Structure 1
Amino acid sequence: MRETLLKAALKVLGEGGEAQFSTRAVCAEAKVTAPTLYHHYGSADGLLSAAMTEAFAQFLQRKQVAVQSDDPEIALRHGWDDYVCFAASHPRLYAAMIGRFLQGARIPAAEQAFALLIERLRALAVEGRLAVPAGAAADLMWSSVNAASLLHVTARLRDAAPPTPAVVASIREQALQAVFRPKPKEPPP
């Protein structure tokens, strides 16, 4: 039953965001009564916290199995694209996840996702491929991926279509240009 409630909570968050999240909505989706929810999670907030933790865990799992490459720059690019794809596919859930994180919730999977970013950037720093320190590179990549992701979340608010692939790619490429040293030109043959 615990798993059923968690799946229902994620579905409610995905369809209506945190604003539509309620004990009633989750119980209706799970086809249980409120006492069942309270028995397993203590409160609606307890279930919401569990749902956010699960959403971040699924997100991290997705990041860990995303396209891997021996080239950390390619892995970084694919990780960035995957992050935006997640937000584009689940804009309301993504907004709720980021909102919870910004409210100060400690979410280990979110911390692990950021640690994965740092790990990739440190590998690039060791190779001498970063134009800025790894911490600054992480800030640039983190802010750019969240900016592109938020364009998907705020499309309805702006009464606009989601961003085009060209806009998203432009944000990514500008961040990458700021992070990486230019590749040396190969001498002519």
Structure 2
Amino acid sequence: MDKHPKGSSKVSGEVKRELLGAARRLLSNVGREGATMRAICSEAKVGPPTLYYYYGDLNGLHRAAIDETYQEVAKAYQIGTEQRGALQGVREGWETFMLFAKREPNMCRVVMRQIIDGEPPSLVASTLQKVAEDLSQIDGRGFMNLSATDTAQLLWMSALGSICFALGNADSERTAFLQRSMMDMTIDALIDHQDIGI
């Protein structure tokens, strides 16, 4: 029986979370093609009107699931930055993104498709802006080869390249080594971090 979208906020919140959880599971397990409205509603035990009520349409639910997935990368950057500065945040965010590609390749492909289609997760822009702001403190001390904004963009481009490489290669140990090497070389090329002890 369909759970009616109206009612107490607790029940309403639970139904919304169930839809989001079902979408994330299906996107991760079978990709966008398998995460249909019928499959999501069946798993969440609701009807299509409930999905429309909370997320507007299937694409809105998919985007919400993608946004929630990307929050892990943004959070890893934030925690690393708070603990040891912007470069550590970059490393933590990068490694979390790479781990995500290894752990959930189908969902990662969905995220990458959104990025390629010009509709990245909603937190990407604000995360890149935050990275640029954090790196500007290093830039102000003369240790960066490009502007903080350009550096943040190049780090993002390198991470996306590493993700694409990982999704197309089965040798996970070798891939992980190459991803770390790409991260290190990118940071070394952009920032004279040895001089600042980072």
Mark yes or no: TM-score above 0.5. Answer: yes
Identical amino acids, percent of aligned pairs: 24
Measure, in 2, the Cα distance between the counterparts of 1:50 and 1:181: 38
1:141-180 matched pairs, under 5 angstroms = 141-155=155-169, 160-162=170-172, 163-180=174-191
Q: CA RMSD of the aligned region, Å?
A: 2.5
Structure 1: stretches of 5+ with no match in the other structure: 185-189
TM-superposed deviation, 1:25: 1.8
Contact 2:18–2:44 (Cα < 8 Å) also in 1:
yes
CA distance 1:49–1:71, shift in 2 (3 Å): closer
TM-superposed deviation, 1:71: 4.0
CA distance 1:82–1:41, shift in 2 (3 Å): closer
Contact 2:73–2:93 (Cα < 8 Å) also in 1:
no
Residue 12 of structure 2 is aligned to residue 2 of structure 1: no
**What letter matches 2:35 in structure 1?**
F
Q: How many equivalent residue pairs?
A: 180
SS in 2 for 1:143: helix
- TM-score scaled to structure 1, two decimals? 0.79
Identify which of structures 1 and 2 has the higher relative contact order when contacts are C-alpha pairs closer than 8 Å and 6+ apart: 1
SS in 2 for 1:17: helix
CA distance 1:134–1:7, shift in 2 (3 Å): same
TM-superposed deviation, 1:20: 2.1
- TM-score scaled to structure 2, two decimals? 0.76
Measure, in 2, the Cα distance between the counterparts of 1:84 and 1:45: 25
1:32-47 matched pairs, under 5 angstroms = 32-47=46-61
Residue 109 of structure 2 is aligned to residue 95 of structure 1: yes
Contact 2:138–2:144 (Cα < 8 Å) also in 1:
yes
Measure, in 2, the Cα distance between the counterparts of 1:72 and 1:60: 12
TM-superposed deviation, 1:93: 1.7
Residue 127 of structure 2 is aligned to residue 117 of structure 1: no
